């Protein structure tokens, strides 16, 4: 390929029509589940003031420090903007900006859309990826924490990944976390000589990150590290116990994971992630979320609790593809062909009426012979060829059932009804998909 060939930017990709049916199904499922659980759609811009992420995600996080797609300012006075790396900060910004504190609480919102992180691309890690996001703002839990986790599990189950597992933890709140963090820093300082350089650098800045380090050298050190759940204040411990009791009541299976801390500053209390069995490495999370009781205040609103999750749709698609799940592409039901190659207006008119009646139809707009038109219709697996010929003067067309090889005359006035009926019967006969 020559140097001048233009390609999609590194870490991004085109989703081609052969792949998009599975995406369409997942997006419909996400929207449908959100509706069933009473989460309403919100759309926030793909760009936000950089401050939304610096304050809302935290300045000392990989997402902001290394991975933020910052836009070059166009003029000196223009504000600093960045592409969104995650949805929660923008949604909470909108919650405050539009006075949603005065709406009935909690405000339950959902969104499906692309996120951007300037990360090193690899399998399942892209610079543009898609998330299905759920947020409930204004409810301190613990019942809603379980509702949200159960909603996540149901999404995977209905998507075709019934074995997805939930890991849960509580990471405390501003009352108990500082004491725990101090303990943790002390503990790691005691092992300073054994810490890899990255971990050593992070120790003073964001010590929680060491806990979920995937560096093999950390495994032994982390095994004996103080566990956050042993140092929760009474309110946090009660909250966590109640979240688990609600999960039990809903028969949602989960595993406790005291090393699950998530990378973002704004999380408090409940934290959870979704994994496929045997794949609980950090790169492999299919989704995750948690409670962020401090975030609304951090972004300038009144203190308001919140909880949410993001499902990485790219990884769900990958997992489904690995399991051989293929989504059939929707095919054209009827192709309108004709003996007079030049009569494109007539063919287009017939197809237009079929489309108006709700059928997927195409007219052959080439000037090729009827035989060629029929061959093309068969190649794209259309169910019917509608053949426009001399009978049209009598208000009739020929309808050929391509897979069955049968043909009959149908009045144009009956065409849409007849095709709808015959196509429905064919599908229910199980011969298609």
Cβ partners under 8 Å of residue 112, min gap 6: 27, 30, 31, 130, 131, 132, 133, 313
| Residues 190-219 as x/- pattern, contact with ligand AMP by CB under 6 A | ------------------------------
Q: Is 154 in the site for ligand AMP (CB under 6 A)?
A: no
> What is the closest distance, in whole angstroms, from the C-beta atom of residue 384 to ligand AMP in the complex?
42
CA-to-CA distance for 298 and 266, rounded, in angstroms?
9
Q: Which two tokens stand for residue 344?
A: 């494109």
Q: Is 384 in the site for ligand AMP (CB under 6 A)?
A: no
Among 152, 288, 290, 294, binds ligand AMP (CB under 6 A): 288
Q: Which stretch binds ligand AMP (CB under 6 A): 42-50, 120-128, 150-158, 196-204?
A: 120-128
Q: Which residues pair with 31 in a beta bridge?
A: none
> What is the closest distance, in whole angstroms, from the C-beta atom of residue 47 to ligand AMP in the complex?
18
CB 261 within 8 A of CB 211: yes
> What is the closest distance, in whole angstroms, from the C-beta atom of residue 284 to ligand AMP in the complex?
8
Q: Please identify, using beta-carbon distances, which residue of 131 and 373 lies nearer to ligand AMP.
A: 131
CB 30 within 8 A of CB 132: yes
CB 244 within 8 A of CB 37: no
DSSP letter, residue 369: -
Q: Is 312 helix (H, G, I), strand (E, B) or coil?
A: strand
In the region spanning residues 308 to 337, those forming contacts with ligand AMP, defined by CB under 6 A, are 310, 312, 314-315
Q: Please identify, using beta-carbon distances, which residue of 143 and 325 lies nearer to ligand AMP.
A: 325
> What is the closest distance, in whole angstroms, from the C-beta atom of residue 67 to ligand AMP in the complex?
8
Q: How far from 337 is each of 127, 232, 341, 385, 388, CA to CA, in Å?
A: 45, 73, 9, 7, 6
Q: How many residues does the chain have?
A: 433
Q: Is 86 in the site for ligand AMP (CB under 6 A)?
A: yes
> What is the closest distance, in whole angstroms, from the C-beta atom of residue 58 to ligand AMP in the complex?
12
Q: Is 293 in the site for ligand AMP (CB under 6 A)?
A: no
Q: Please identify, using beta-carbon distances, which residue of 118 and 187 lies nearer to ligand AMP.
A: 118
Q: Please identify, using beta-carbon distances, which residue of 94 and 285 lies nearer to ligand AMP.
A: 285
Three-state SS letters, 188-251: HHCCHHHCCHHHHHHCCCCCHHHHCCCCHHHHHHHHCCCCHHHCCCHHHHHHHHHHHHHHHHCC
Among 93, 117, 383, 423, binds ligand AMP (CB under 6 A): 117
Binding residues for ligand AMP, rule: CB under 6 A, are 86, 117, 119, 124-126, 129, 131, 285-288, 310, 312, 314-315
């Amino acid at each position: 390929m020559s140097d001048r060939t233009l390609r999609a930017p590194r870490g991004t990709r085109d989703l081609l029509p052969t792949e998009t049916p599975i995406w369409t199904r997942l997006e419909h499922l996400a929207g449908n589940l959100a509706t069933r659980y009473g989460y309403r759609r919100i759309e926030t811009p793909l760009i936000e003031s950089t401050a939304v992420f610096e304050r809302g995600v935290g300045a000392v996080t990989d997402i902001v420090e290394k991975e933020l797609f910052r836009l070059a300012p166009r003029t000196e006075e223009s504000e600093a903007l960045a592409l969104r790396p995650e949805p929660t900060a923008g949604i909470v910004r909108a919650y405050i900006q539009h006075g949603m504190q005065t709406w009935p609480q909690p405000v339950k919102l959902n969104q499906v859309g692309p996120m951007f992180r300037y990360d090193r691309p690899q399998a399942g890690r892209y610079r543009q990826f898609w998330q299905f996001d759920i947020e409930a703002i204004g409810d301190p839990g613990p019942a809603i924490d379980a509702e949200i986790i159960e909603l996540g599990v149901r999404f995977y189950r209905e998507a075709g990944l019934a074995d997805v597992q939930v890991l849960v933890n509580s990471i405390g709140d501003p009352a108990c976390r500082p004491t725990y963090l101090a303990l943790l820093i002390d503990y790691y300082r005691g092992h300073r000589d054994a810490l890899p350089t990255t971990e050593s650098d992070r120790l003073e800045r964001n010590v929680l990150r060491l806990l979920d380090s995937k560096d093999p050298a950390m495994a032994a050190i982390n095994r004996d590290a103080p566990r956050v759940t042993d140092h929760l204040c009474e309110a946090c411990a009660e909250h966590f116990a109640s979240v688990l009791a609600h999960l039990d009541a809903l028969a949602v299976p989960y595993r406790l994971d005291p090393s699950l801390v998530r990378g973002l500053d704004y999380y408090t209390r409940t934290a959870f992630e979704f994994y496929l069995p045997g794949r609980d490495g950090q790169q492999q999370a299919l989704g995750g979320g948690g409670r962020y009781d401090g975030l609304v205040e951090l972004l300038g609103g009144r203190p308001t609790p919140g909880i949410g999750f993001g499902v990485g749709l790219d990884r769900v698609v990958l997992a489904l593809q690995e399991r051989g799940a293929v989504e059939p592409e929707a095919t054209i039901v009827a192709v309108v062909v004709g003996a007079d190659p030049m009569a494109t207006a007539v063919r287009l008119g017939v197809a237009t009426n079929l489309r108006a009646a709700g059928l997927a139809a195409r007219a052959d707009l080439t000037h090729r012979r009827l035989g060629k038109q029929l061959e093309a219709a068969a190649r794209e697996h259309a169910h019917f060829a509608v053949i426009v010929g001399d009978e049209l003067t009598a208000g009739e067309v020929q309808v050929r059932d391509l897979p069955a090889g049968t043909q009959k005359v149908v009045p144009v006035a009956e065409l849409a009804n007849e095709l709808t009926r015959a196509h429905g019967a064919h599908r229910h006969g199980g011969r298609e998909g």
